[in-house]
């Protein structure tokens, strides 16, 4: 995936001009973050692209740890897209329905049975019924349209049920090795605190990061920023004293200035 391709996928929006970082400053920030988090990588557990896209869909507005707690049972019961797409039929069989009774069920009845079955496994996650519904529809499209495979294409990915911009970028980056920047809550917060972006939303932040970061480091930096947001630059109380990039950080400079003035 080229810079032009990700930019083409990015609508223009209200990105304000971030402060200008020199190439040396950017390199120093990225190097320091990599030093702080040498193992920064996707923390979701998965063994193939099907499991990856399912795990990323499940991770919306919840932690990777919570997702990792439910996916072993989910993947054991539904090891591939076809099995997940047929969750409703399997649930009907497990309830003892005869073949003619299953055939008599409407598509919506089967879908509801599948949603109930998947929900039982993932009920500890937020929005579990919506996620269950999306996963069943996603599995159906993957099975019927892509032979059970996950497409290596942004437009095809975002057309899948339950797959938005962030999920598509994570799948392209982690699953297919493309250079992508997926902006979640951590990337959004940290990038705007540092001053890499001055943006009101994730799209504008993605735009700003693509503008200033070298494309060859997009995916690695995406993980570095997530780890920094999780383990140092936390939402409520950033640990600026331990932060190796404080000298470059707008938020830190402003906080320091406010302390000195008060």
Q: Which stretch binds ligand SF4 (CB under 6 A): 18-26, 138-146, 170-178, 240-248?
A: 240-248
Q: Which stretch binds ligand SF4 (CB under 6 A): 75-83, 98-106, 198-206, 236-244?
A: 236-244
Contacts 24+ apart (CB under 8 A), 242-246: 244/32, 244/33, 244/35, 244/36, 245/28, 245/29, 245/32, 245/33, 245/194
Tokens 């299953």 — which residue? 102
Q: Which stretch binds ligand SF4 (CB under 6 A): 67-75, 108-116, 175-183, 232-240?
A: 232-240
Query: Minimum distance from CB of 221 to ligand SF4 (Å)?
Result: 13
Say how many C-beta atoms besides its own lie within 10 A of residue 246's C-beta.
19
Is 182 or 232 the residue whose CB approaches ligand SF4 more closely? 232
Residue 166 is among the residues annotated as catalytic for this protein: yes
163 token code pair: 């797959």
198 beta partners: 16
**Is residue 251 near ligand SF4 by the rule CB under 6 A?**
yes
Backbone dihedral region for residue 195 (phi beyond 0: left; psi -120 to 50: alpha; all else: beta): left
The answer to whether the CB of 41 falls within 8 A of the CB of 219 is no
Cα dihedral 167, 171, 172, 173 in deg (nearest 10): 100
Is 18 or 243 the residue whose CB approaches ligand SF4 more closely? 243
**Is residue 226 near ligand SF4 by the rule CB under 6 A?**
no
Contact with ligand SF4 (CB under 6 A): which of 239, 254, 256, 257? 239
**Is residue 83 near ligand SF4 by the rule CB under 6 A?**
no
Residue 153 is among the residues annotated as catalytic for this protein: no
135 token code pair: 């996963």
246 DSSP 8-state letter: G
The answer to whether the CB of 37 falls within 8 A of the CB of 223 is yes
> What x-and-dash track marks residues 187-216 binding ligand SF4 by CB under 6 A?
---x--xx----------------------
The answer to whether the CB of 250 falls within 8 A of the CB of 193 is yes
Catalytic pick among 107, 166, 237, 253: 166
**Is residue 174 near ligand SF4 by the rule CB under 6 A?**
no
Query: Minimum distance from CB of 212 to ligand SF4 (Å)?
Result: 16
47 token code pair: 């063994």
Q: Which stretch binds ligand SF4 (CB under 6 A): 19-27, 71-79, 203-211, 242-250?
A: 242-250
Catalytic pick among 39, 131, 184, 250: 184
Number of residues that bind ligand SF4 (CB under 6 A): 14
**Is residue 238 near ligand SF4 by the rule CB under 6 A?**
yes
The answer to whether the CB of 56 falls within 8 A of the CB of 48 is no
Active site members: 166, 184
Residues near ligand SF4 (CB under 6 A) = 190, 193-194, 232-233, 238-240, 243, 245-246, 249, 251-252
């Amino acid at each position: 995936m080229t810079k032009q391709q990700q930019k083409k996928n990015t609508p223009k929006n209200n990105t304000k001009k971030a402060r200008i970082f020199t190439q040396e400053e950017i390199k120093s920030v990225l190097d320091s973050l990599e030093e702080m988090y040498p193992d920064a990588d996707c923390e979701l557990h998965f063994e193939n692209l099907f499991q990856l896209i399912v795990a990323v869909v499940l991770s919306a507005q919840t932690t990777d740890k919570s997702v990792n707690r439910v996916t072993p049972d989910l993947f054991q019961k539904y090891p591939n897209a076809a099995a997940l797409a047929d969750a409703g039929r399997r649930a009907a069989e497990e309830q003892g329905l005869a073949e003619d009774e299953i055939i008599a069920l409407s598509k919506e009845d089967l879908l509801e049975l599948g949603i109930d079955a998947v929900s039982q496994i993932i009920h500890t996650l937020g929005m579990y019924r919506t996620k269950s519904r999306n996963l069943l529809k996603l599995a159906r499209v993957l099975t019927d349209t892509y032979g059970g495979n996950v497409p290596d294409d942004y437009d095809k990915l975002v057309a899948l049920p339950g797959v938005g911009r962030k999920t598509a970028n994570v799948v392209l980056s982690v699953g297919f090795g493309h250079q992508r920047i997926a902006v979640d809550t951590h990337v959004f917060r940290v990038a705007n605190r540092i001053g890499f972006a001055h943006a009101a939303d994730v799209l504008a932040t993605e735009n700003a990061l693509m503008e200033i970061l070298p494309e060859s480091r997009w995916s690695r930096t995406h993980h570095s920023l997530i780890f920094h947001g999780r383990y140092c630059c936390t939402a409520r109380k950033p640990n600026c004293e331990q932060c190796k990039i404080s000298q470059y950080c707008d938020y830190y400079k402003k906080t320091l200035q406010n302390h000195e003035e008060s």
